[in-house]
Amino acid sequence: MTAAGHAVSLEEQIELWRSYLRRRQAIHSVDAAELEDHLREQIAVLAAAGLAADEAFLVAVKRIGDLDALSREFAREHSERLWKQLVVPSAETGEPQAAARRDAIAAFCLATLAAVIIKVPALFGTDFGADAGFYARNLSLFVLPLLTGYFAWKRRLDADTVRWLPVPFVAAAVLVNAYPLAPGGYSEALTALHLPIALWLVVGVAYAGGRWSEVGGRMDFIRFSGELFIYYVLIALGGGVLTGFMAMIFQSIGIDIEPFFEEWLLPCGAVGAVVIASWLVEAKQSVIENMAPVLTRLFSPLFAAVLLTFLGALLLTGRGIDIERNVLIAFDLLLVVVLGLLLYSISARDPRSPPGVFDLVQVVLVASALLADAVALSAIAARITEFGFSPNRVAALGENVILLVNLAWSAVLYVRFLRGRGSFTSLERWQTDYLPVYAAWAAIVVIVFPPVFGYV
């Protein structure tokens, strides 16, 4: 299809949508001009992200339908026709189909390349089982540069941006392999955990495609990250089932596939699945209901109830928290999950909508997490006072302080919104502006902690 053909087709679809709104304005009180501006804005954002005109229109109508009852009716009544326009190959839809095939081929090639790269060290005698520390430190470097390259290609980033994107990865590769980290030590474990967090920000810059400085661009990356996590877990669960069946059927003929699984299937599948899951998120963005916001609405009340019950039990029993290593990790993970629930509830919400019951649930969740974080912080501080500093305790202390600041100001902004004294947009901006803080702390743990604590 020509560019002109795309423009005419898109304008015809918008005219159909506009006519529908005009016919139904007597039933619904709606500002058609304002909604059309919002629709065109969404189409422009999606087109900049790489979607074809027809795809961008379908996704934009779906998003507008999430925010407006009349547009939702249009999406429901015309969904079959719109879907066929999007997915049925024809002379008019050949170009979007070709673009989809091109993206799929690129993703599968990069996934294969990631699987090949992770096996390259084995050519030099580095065993995946015996040298687990090396692979743990470098695991993100086997796949995140490829994922960054995929988005840089897909978003058609300018040459200046593309030139500096490899720099953090090269610096990280030199640093984590130059440090004489003790095998199985605290510093090695902290490096393996925090390096992907620091480098994930570089992926976000490539994903945003020139929109990283905008709140919308960073919020899109947050949505992508949540969907990627869900898709990756589903792929991993499917891979686990497949491996179980493989082991069973090969064992029946006397063949043990455990060495193949440990040396080939697990490492190659782990890195390749990151690229494939990312491609799936891109291919399905908002054509069907995103899973992360749905799960957020389900689990936010449950997590709030668990935290409130925990705080109540803490007060009734008068017991302190036993801050051992595993308990510390569990607390940090719990707070990260709460933060994730907050982020995805924000990303799925219309900033123009008035406060509702779910907003009150979110405030209760944030407030209870804030109290739990304060209790954990006091226990960590007491542990440091009694036993002194260690890399694990200092890392946990910093992470809990960062989460405490985020949750505290989020609670203030959310309460202001509920009381009609602030906008929801300010809460969105706070969360997206705070993203570099996590990456900065992760980078400090990777760069500063090993020499300070003696590489142990």
Is a pLDDT exceeding 90 seen at residue 102? no
Is a pLDDT exceeding 90 seen at residue 351? no
More confident residue, 134 or 132: 134
Q: Give whole-number Cα distances, 215 to 198, 207, 223, 336, 380, in Å.
A: 20, 14, 12, 21, 34
**Alpha-carbon span 80 to 145, nearest angstrom:** 39
CA torsion sign, 232 to 233 to 234 to 239? positive
DSSP state for residue 323 in the 8-state scheme = -
Tell me what the mean pLDDT of segment 104-112 comes to. 93
From 442, 446, 445, 452, select the one nearest 175 (Cα to Cα).
446
Question: Is 188 within 8 Å of 133 (Cβ atoms)?
Answer: yes
Determine the pLDDT at residue 453: 86
From 44, 45, 162, 150, select the one nearest 102 (Cα to Cα).
150
DSSP state for residue 179 in the 8-state scheme = S
- Dihedral of the alpha carbons of 195, 200, 206, 207, in degrees to the nearest 10: 160
Tell me what the mean pLDDT of segment 136-156 comes to. 93
Q: Give whole-number Cα distances, 184 to 137, 146, 149, 191, in Å.
A: 11, 28, 32, 11
Q: Which two tokens stand for residue 62?
A: 């779906």
**Alpha-carbon span 433 to 215, nearest angstrom:** 8
Q: Output the average pLDDT for the chain.
A: 80
Task: Kindly report which listed range (105-114, 298-307, 401-410) carries the lowest average pLDDT score.
Answer: 298-307
Determine the pLDDT at residue 24: 56
Determine the pLDDT at residue 191: 92
More confident residue, 442 or 319: 442
Tell me what the mean pLDDT of segment 382-398 comes to. 84
Domain ranges across the chain: 3-87, 98-179+196-283, 291-422
The percent of residues in the chain predicted with pLDDT above 90, rounded, is 29
Best-predicted range by mean pLDDT (119-133, 287-301, 333-347, 413-427) = 413-427
Q: Tens digits of per-residue pLDDT, 212-270?
A: 988 888 988 988 898 898 889 989 988 888 888 888 878 877 888 888 888 888 889 99
DSSP state for residue 30 in the 8-state scheme = -
> Residue 427: helix, strand or coil by DSSP?
helix
More confident residue, 210 or 30: 210
Q: Give whole-number Cα distances, 328 to 397, 442, 452, in Å.
A: 10, 17, 22
Determine the pLDDT at residue 160: 87
DSSP state for residue 28 in the 8-state scheme = S
DSSP state for residue 255 in the 8-state scheme = -
CA 17 remoteness from chain centre: 32
Does an H or E element contain 38, and which? helix 32-48
More confident residue, 292 or 425: 425
DSSP state for residue 349 in the 8-state scheme = S
**Alpha-carbon span 22 to 126, nearest angstrom:** 67
Determine the pLDDT at residue 409: 94
Half-sphere exposure of 282 toward its Cβ, with a 13 Å CA cutoff?
27
Best-predicted range by mean pLDDT (42-51, 93-102, 307-316, 445-454) = 445-454
Q: Tens digits of per-residue pLDDT, 276-298?
A: 999 988 877 644 445 666 677 77
Task: Kindly report which listed range (48-52, 321-325, 398-402, 420-424) carries the lowest average pLDDT score.
Answer: 321-325
Q: Is the pTM of this model over 0.85?
A: no
Compute how many other C-beta atoms are within 10 angstroms of the C-beta atom of residue 48.
16
Is a pLDDT exceeding 70 seen at residue 208? yes
* Beta strand ranges found along 209-324 (DSSP E): none
Q: Which two tokens stand for residue 337?
A: 């999950």
